[in-house]
Amino acid sequence: MSEQFSQPLSEHPPRNEDHAPRTELQARLERIRIRGFRSLADVELDQLGDLTVVVGPSGAGKSNFVRFFDMLSWMLRSRRLGEFVARYGGADDQLFGGADETMRLEADLSLRTQVGRNDYRFALSHAHPDRFVFIEEAFRFSRDGLPTEANWRHLGAGHHEAQIVDAGHPSAEPSANRTTAATIVRLLRSCATYQFQDTSDESNFKRRWDADDNLRLRRHGGNLAALLWRLEEEDPEVFEEVCAQIRRALPGLRAFEVDENYGKVTLAWRANWSERRFTTNLTSDGSIRLFALLTLLNLPSDLMPNVVLVDEPELGLHPAAIEVVADSVQALAGRKQVIIVTQSPRLVDALDVDEVVTFDFLEGRTEARRRDRGELQAWLEEDFSNPM
């Protein structure tokens, strides 16, 4: 059984600026400080706005920054910090210089809402057998307009999974602390990372996927076919916008097709210049990534997290496609908080931001620094081009 997504063609249509967002941005990540995680001995990003661009050469620690957000997801969304640690080499591998040099991993996060600031901090210590134990976990809410900050609510020590999830659960005793804990968990669970680098023959893009797995685009993009199928059926205006943006970078796209068999779907497409049907196995890596990226960046707000972190979106893309991606990123930043991690000066230039955060690897550790346009240009010319 095959369903074809059809769409009237137009030549390089501009972005539909009249397509209103479904929801307004209600909360944002304001500050994050990470100490002792992999190469991030002590890295702080503050004054985070609608769009933050992190740029650095290969090996500077950008992937470790992304991995920290993955760890948060394992901690708070599924409460499987122990599984994350085991999957990625044990606690020793997560610590800066290993446990012999750094015994604890610490993080402080601040989240801004319309009425105040929510703070969450935790510290993890290396424990036998090569796992983490919490030695501190605390949270607070400081309301705007008050002369002092709120006191911290401490959640104890000695546990192996995040206790803030229990503190904010509806079964917990009703209190202001429960409300604050629930708010922090909800906000941090709504931070999602997206990495579309893997387009190998064994990648999720080229697998048959459950048709019902279409509520959100997964971090690896493997359920792209299922999500496009849902959009075409339930939100054709958004589907047409996605197709229009893809055609700006790939004018030869005629239509997407999704094959459904016994609840599994696969993605294919047709081109203007050929009658052949192109499956993902016959599609270039750059085109597959482009399909996933522009779908993600043009989704309605109710299908997206509040904080969208995209790792190296420029990989495999033609310069013209990078311009289209940058346009979609800027549009998305008007309704969601976006963090772009890149090693592409071209993408940084296309995003046209006043400041960026640069990552350098100096004396065995990642150094983060906020730079304005003038400083960035000098850094790109003097430091970025030098080998690590």
pLDDT band at 175 (very low <50, low <70, confident <90, very high): confident
84 in the same domain as 72: yes
172 in the same domain as 198: no
Distance of CA 156 to the CA centre of its chain: 30
Share of residues in the chain with pLDDT > 90 (%) = 85
82 assigned to some structural domain:
yes
End-to-end Cα separation, the chain, in angstroms? 52
Q: Cβ distance 325 to 25 under 8 Å?
A: no
Q: Does the bond joining 129 to the residue before it have cis omega, within 30 degrees of 0?
A: yes
Q: Cβ distance 283 to 292 under 8 Å?
A: no
319 in the same domain as 232: yes
pLDDT of 189: 94
247 in the same domain as 174: no
Task: Write the CATH number for 178.
Answer: 3.40.50
14 assigned to some structural domain:
no
Report how far residue 269's alpha carbon sits from residue 366's, in angstroms, rounded to the nearest whole number.
42
271 in the same domain as 172: no
Last residue of a domain, one of 189, 212, 234: 189
Our count of domains for the chain comes to 2
How many other C-beta atoms lie within 10 A of the C-beta of residue 223? Answer: 26
Provide the mean pLDDT of the chain. 91
At a CB cut-off of 8 Å and minimum separation 6, what does 304 contact? 216, 296, 336
Q: Cβ distance 333 to 50 under 8 Å?
A: yes
Structural domain range at position 180 = 28-49+60-189
302 in the same domain as 177: no
Using CA of residue 211, residue 217, residue 222, residue 227, what is the dihedral sign? positive
Q: Cβ distance 76 to 185 under 8 Å?
A: yes
Report how far residue 239's alpha carbon sits from residue 257's, in angstroms, rounded to the nearest whole number.
13
127 in the same domain as 64: yes
Q: Cβ distance 21 to 334 under 8 Å?
A: yes
152 in the same domain as 197: no
349 in the same domain as 236: yes
Report how far residue 182's alpha carbon sits from residue 190's, in angstroms, rounded to the nearest whole number.
12
Task: Write the CATH number for 345.
Answer: 3.40.50.300
Identify the H or E element spanning 110. strand 104-112
pLDDT tens per residue, range 177-216 = 999 999 999 999 999 999 999 999 999 999 999 999 999 9
18 assigned to some structural domain:
no
Residue 91, phi then psi, degrees to nearest 5:
-65, -35
Q: Cβ distance 326 to 338 under 8 Å?
A: no
92 assigned to some structural domain:
yes
236 assigned to some structural domain:
yes
181 in the same domain as 117: yes
pLDDT of 383: 66
275 assigned to some structural domain:
yes
At a CB cut-off of 8 Å and minimum separation 6, what does 128 contact? none
Q: What is the mean pLDDT of residues 300-324?
A: 95
Last residue of a domain, one of 120, 155, 189: 189
Report how far residue 308's alpha carbon sits from residue 20's, in angstroms, rounded to the nearest whole number.
19
Identify the CA nearest to 88 among candidates 58, 104, 56, 64.
Answer: 64
pLDDT of 382: 79
pLDDT band at 174 (very low <50, low <70, confident <90, very high): confident
Bigger pLDDT: 371 or 20?
371
Find residue 127's DSSP bridge partners: 131
Last residue of a domain, one of 141, 172, 189: 189
359 assigned to some structural domain:
no
Query: Is 282's pLDDT higher than 60?
Result: yes
Identify the CA nearest to 224 among candidates 178, 288, 278.
Answer: 288
34 in the same domain as 116: yes
Q: What is the mean pLDDT of residues 137-165?
A: 96
185 in the same domain as 253: no
pLDDT band at 240 (very low <50, low <70, confident <90, very high): very high
177 assigned to some structural domain:
yes
